[in-house]
Structure formats: structure tokens, C-alpha cells
Amino acid sequence: MKSLKFLNPYLFRYRTRLILGTLFITISNIFAIYPAEVLRKGIDMVQDGIHVYDLFKGLPMENELRSDFFNILLFFGIIVIITALLKGLFMFFMRQTIIVMSRLIEFDLKNDIYKQYQKLDLAFYKKNKTGDLMARISEDVSQVRMYVGPAIMYAIGTITLVLLVTLRMLTINAELTFYVLSPLPILAFTIYYVNSRVIKKSAAVQKQLSTISSWVQESFSGIRVVKAYNREQFNQNKFAEEANLYKDKNVELVKVNALFFPMIILLIGLSTLITIYAGGIKVFSGEITTGTIAEFIMYVNMLTWPVASIGWVTSIVQRAAASQTRINEFLSYEPSVVNHTSAATPIIGDLRFDHVSFVYPDSGIVAINKISFSVKAGQSLAVIGRTGSGKSTLAALISRQYDVTSGQIFVDNMPLHKVNLNSLRSAIGYVPQEVFLFSETISNNIAFGFKPSHIASESDQESIEQAAKDAAIFDSVSQFPEGFNTRVGERGVTLSGGQKQRISIARAIIRKPEILIFDDCLSAVDTATEEEVLSNLRRIMKGRTSVIIAHRISTVKHCDQIIVLDHGSIVEQGSHQDLINKDGIYAELNRKQLLEEAAAQF
Ligand SMILES: Nc1ncnc2c1ncn2[C@@H]1O[C@H](COP(=O)(O)OP(=O)(O)OP(=O)(O)O)[C@@H](O)[C@H]1O
Ligand SMILES: [Mg+2]
């Protein structure tokens, strides 16, 4: 329950609504209980009236007495209708304040969680599944809203009603009040018990349902394999088996649910019975009137649903507390990469690594081991090395997606963590190894690189096309029927790996950054296209610091400086010619690749 304390500031923010809501609930409850008193008066009056009426039977006053009598009853009836209307009106106000408040809190909470998600670093995203992140911002927040909305509303409603009714009953007869209320705690407890069983059972139903649907989904997306391997009958049986389990779990749920209403009716019946019996005795002894029994029976009925809702409210609060604990877990997560300065830092592009090491915190893998090198602004650095040697990690360190474990990175002779994070990232055009395109038009995907709004306008078209030309993707895109307005992804065209890579390159170069990082961005294109892209890139790279990660010598040989990584350490360093002369790993790799190329010619 402690986790729900987190929501208090939110409730405090909307305290006016909460206070008004409480007031409306109380007023609505006052109007709800008033008719019971009117009913008692009515019944008592009828009872007394009949005696009086009998006395005047046959006398001239009979008719007058009768119409007076009916007029008073009519008046009582009108009072009951008016109070019912007023009760309804205030219930409307109560929902307008408290339920609206819960929606406002839900909105704030979702925004706060989203904001936190944006702040969190890559290490966090590696550790937590997307489904989990989504569940906490949607389902868990919904559970929490049930607490700040309906649960609070019903709780306040129940407390005020129980107080008002009990006070009212006590002023009439304390002993009878005790008898009448005695079954209510049993009612509340039973409902709580039944309810928690219902929750457990419905969770089981839900789980089985999701098992079935993911299994069915898979069997249909793999329908070709299923048919090719003649597995229809097997699948049919398996489906029947799972569906049968689902049915059984549902039947169990229905059984528990079926207990719910009879239980309530039984306990109200018990209460009513006690009221009539104990009340009847008191009527005989003249302690109370017959009308009072009717009044008490009305109170019992009035209390039933609110008391029944205690069980329901408790389970909402429990679920909300569990959800809030999950939400708090993410909200309290401190991002390890933080921006230490708000002042913008202009960046020129000098880059220096000084004995930099990096260990992945979750796996303990030493991905970068005491690396030192420096690149002057405007120069190019190539990083080459076997798969898993730490190339991508090195790129990630430059844009501070992770902070170094030891050593230091300098940009323009400033320690990286002193540079404004936004300035740093704005100055970098990064082409990641794993291309990601949004389900958007090609235009917008490229414009993402330089438009904060991510939507391309007419005036951007020229720069978008230029970037596409430089990335050697212009011709392919122009051939699509819708050209640059072609949508990518699920509801649009499926691009080939090489096409995606080049769009990703266009996205990076369109921002004209001070530092360009290409992480293995030409792996999926043929050597001819590679040559075309590279010759364009050389023009674009002029005056910009660039880091090119690759597996092919042909990609990197024109760079000013080449480092060869192995197991996170630099094993060779120098220009292409230096390294060839050195006749080490690099020269060996070069020979192999030249041979492969020659072989490919035949
Ligand atoms: N997010 C991560 N968490 C833990 N370990 C990681 C993570 N990413 C990479 N590693 C490990 O760090 C080492 C270096 O990986 P990195 O991705 O930098 O290699 P790479 O040189 O880019 O390889 P490739 O050429 O295949 O892209 C590998 O041993 C890898 O298993
Ligand atoms: Mg890599």
C-alpha cells in the first residue's frame, strides 16, 4: 500500500475537485436517506389516520378528512421525488469532479512516465522489454486511475453514508441499530473473499486466453510450414485441447461469480428479517412505531451496495498498489547518462580518447579496453576489426549513449561529460548498424535528421532529394509510384536491406553535422554502390570529423587514420599505407579481400 503514497501529490494538485467531490457525495447521501424518514411518517400517519377516519365514518366531516389525508400523502410523495432528483443531481456533480479528477491524474501520470522513459539510457532499454514498458504506461496507469477515481469515490460515499445512516438510526433506537447492522460486517467480509477469488480466477482465464491467441497467431503466420508438413490435424487437436482448458477455467469463474448475488441477497434478507423481528417486538412494547420498521428496512437496503462495494474497493486498491509499485520502479530509475550543463556547447569536432575502457554493466563484458587515439576536426577515422571487437560500442561512447567505465573522451579538448548532451547529439550524424525506419514516408524518414517536428515540408524537398542523391538512393526512390511519399514499413513498401541503409545514411547527412558516424552502414550494398556512396561521402565528409566503421578494406582505405580493434584493444593504428607496410593483421585482411574480389570477377 505504501507505493500509493506516491499519488498523494497528484491528489493534492487537484484538491479542490477532491474536496468539492466529497461535499457533493455527502449532500447526495443526505438526500438519499431522507425519503426513509418521510416513509416512516407516511406509514405512521396512515396507521393513525385510519383510526381517526374510522371514528368519523358516516359523519359529514368524512370527505373533508379523506381529501386532507390524501393531500398530505401526495405531499410526501412529492418530497420523495424531489429528494431523488436532488440526489441524482449531486451524484452527477460528484462524478464530474472526482471521475474527471482521476482522468486528469491519469493524464499527468502518463506524461510523467513518458518523460522519464525519454530520459532513461540505453542500458535501461536493453534490460527491459518493450511490452513491459508499454504495460506500465497503459494498463498499470489504468489500474491506478481506478484507485484515484472510482475507488476513492465509492470509499468516501460508503463512509459518509454509513456514518449518516448509523447516526440517524442511533437517534431513533440504539438497540435496533445494533441488530440491524450486525450482518453487515459478515457481508463485507464475504464479498471481499468472493471477490479475491474472482480476481484470481479471471487472471487464470486471461492467461489462458493469451496463450491461445499467441499460439493461434503463430500457427497462422506459419501456415505455409504447417501445410507443407501436414500438421493440420495435429494443430486442430492442440487447439481443441487449449480451448478446453480455457472453457474449464471459465466454468470455474462462473461458479464463483454465481455465488456473489445469492450471497448478497441472503445477507440482506437476514438483516431485513432481524429488523422486522426485533422491530416488531419493540412496536409491541411501544418503543417504536410501525413506520420505524419500514424506515430501518430502507436503511438496510441503502447500506447493502455501499458495504458490498468495500470488497470491490479493497481489491481495486490492492491492484492499484501493485501497479503503482511497478510504475515507481521505473520512475525511480536514475538514468546513468545525465546532462550536467544547460548551457549550449558549440562543437567543432576534435575527438580524443584517452585510455578509455568500457565494461557492459549487465554482462560484465569488457567491450573497450584502454583505447587512446585522437582525430583532428575535419579528419576521418576508420575502425575495422572482427565481429564483436567493440566497434559499435566505440561509436556509442562518442555520442554518450553510455558513459565510459574508465579513462576519458574529449571533444574539442573538453571532457565529454562536461559537454551539453543536447549540443553533442545535435552535432553528430549517426548511422546505426541496425537500421531503423519509422512507419512514415521516405521524405519524413530522411527529414527526421534535421527537422525537430519530424514532418517534411515543401521547402525541405530540395535538401531531402540532395541527401538522397548523396546516399545513392535517389534513383531507387524515384522509381516507386509515389516517390518520396512512399510509406515505409508495415502498411507501406518493404525496402531491401541496402535501400534501408542508404535512407539511414541520408537521414544522417541531411543534418550537416560536425561529426559523422557510420556504423557498418554499407554492409548490405554491393561494391559498385558502395563505391558510389563513398565517393559522395568523401565530398560530404570534407570539413567534418567522421568515424567510419566497416569490415571491408575498400570502405576504409581512404581515411586519414585507421585503427584495427581486437577484443576491445587497438592492435594496429596508422594510415592505409602505414598498415600495409607494417604487414600485420590489416595487410593480411587486405590480401584476403583482394583475393576474394578477384575471385568474384570470374
Ligand atoms: N548491450 C550490450 N550489453 C552487453 N554486452 C554487449 C552489448 N552490446 C555489445 N556487447 C558485447 O560487447 C562486445 C563488443 O560488441 P560490439 O557490438 O561493439 O562489437 P562490434 O565490433 O560492433 O561487432 P560487429 O562487427 O558484429 O558489429 C561483444 O562481445 C558483445 O557481446
Ligand atoms: Mg557493431
Q: Which ligand is nearest to the CA of 359?
A: 1
| C-alpha of residue 511 to centroid of ligand 2, in Å | 23
Q: How far apart are CA 125 and CA 402, in angstroms?
A: 12
Residue 220 lies in a domain: no
> CA separation (Å) from 333 to 13, 136, 396?
24, 14, 21
Average pLDDT over residues 97-126: 93
286 within domain boundaries: no
Give the residue, out of 356, 359, 360, 368, with the most ligand 1 atoms within 8 A of its beta carbon, to mutate for a pocket test.
360
Task: Name the least confident of 46-50, 436-440, 553-557.
Answer: 46-50
Ligand 2 centre to CA of 257 (Å) is 56
Atom of ligand 1 nearest to the CA of 551: 25
Sign of CA dihedral 366, 371, 376, 381: negative
d(CA 431, CA 521) in angstroms, rounded, equals: 7
Ligand 2 centre to CA of 390 (Å) is 7
Of 126, 146, 173, which closes a domain?
173
| Site to substitute for ligand 1 among 359, 383, 386, 393, most atoms within 8 A of C-beta | 393
Pick the last residue of a domain from 173, 188, 215: 173
Give the residue from 173, 202, 223 where a domain finishes: 173
Is residue 469 predicted with pLDDT exceeding 80? yes
Distance between CA atoms of 94 and 88, rounded to whole angstroms? 10
Q: Is residue 226 part of a domain?
A: no
Cβ atoms of residues 38 and 82 within 8 Å? no
Task: Please choose from 358, 389, 433 the residue to mutate so as to test ligand 1's pocket, defined by most ligand atoms within 8 A of CB.
Answer: 389
- Within 6 A (CB) of ligand 1 lie 126, 360, 362-363, 365, 367, 385, 387-393, 433, 520
Confidence of residue 310 (pLDDT cuts 50, 70, 90): confident
For residue 385, give the ligand 1 atom closest to its CA.
21
Closest residue CA from atom 25 of ligand 1 = 387
Burial of 332 (0-12, 13-18, 19+ CB in 10 A): exposed
Looking at residues 59-71, what average pLDDT do you find? Answer: 83
Q: Return the bridge partners of 7, or none.
A: none
Atom of ligand 1 nearest to the CA of 565: 21
The answer as to whether 219 is a domain residue is no
The pLDDT-based confidence of 578 (bands split at 50, 70, 90) is very high
Q: What is the mean pLDDT of residues 48-61?
A: 80
Cell matching residue 362? 549487465
Beta carbons of 209 and 246 less than 8 angstroms apart = yes
Nearest to 296 by CA among 160, 156, 181: 181
Using the mean position of ligand 1's atoms as its centre, give its distance from the Cα of residue 338 in Å: 23
Residue 394 belongs to domain with CATH number: 3.40.50.300
Question: Closest Cα to residue 94, out of 144, 22, 159?
Answer: 22
Does 272 fall in a domain?
Answer: no
For residue 94, the enclosing domain spans 1-173
Instruction: Tell me if 231 is assigned to some domain.
Output: no
In a domain, 197, yes or no: no
Domain of 111, CATH number, reads 1.20.1560.10
Amino acid letter at 183?
A: P
127-152: average pLDDT: 88
- Tell me the best of 391, 394, 556, 564 to mutate to test the pocket of ligand 1, counting ligand atoms within 8 Å of each CB and taking the most: 391
Position 198 scores a pLDDT of 81
Closest Cα to atom 29, ligand 1: which residue? Answer: 388
Ligand 1: centre distance to CA 545 (Å): 24
Q: Is residue 277 domain-resident?
A: no
Per residue in 152-210, pLDDT tens? 999 999 999 999 999 999 999 999 999 888 887 887 788 778 878 887 887 788 788 87
Alpha-carbon distance 572 to 595, whole Å?
A: 22
Q: How far is CA 394 from the centre of its chain?
A: 32
Q: How many domains does the chain have?
A: 2
pTM score, whole prediction: 0.80
Query: Span 246-260, mean pLDDT?
Result: 88
Cα 377 to ligand 2 centre (Å): 24
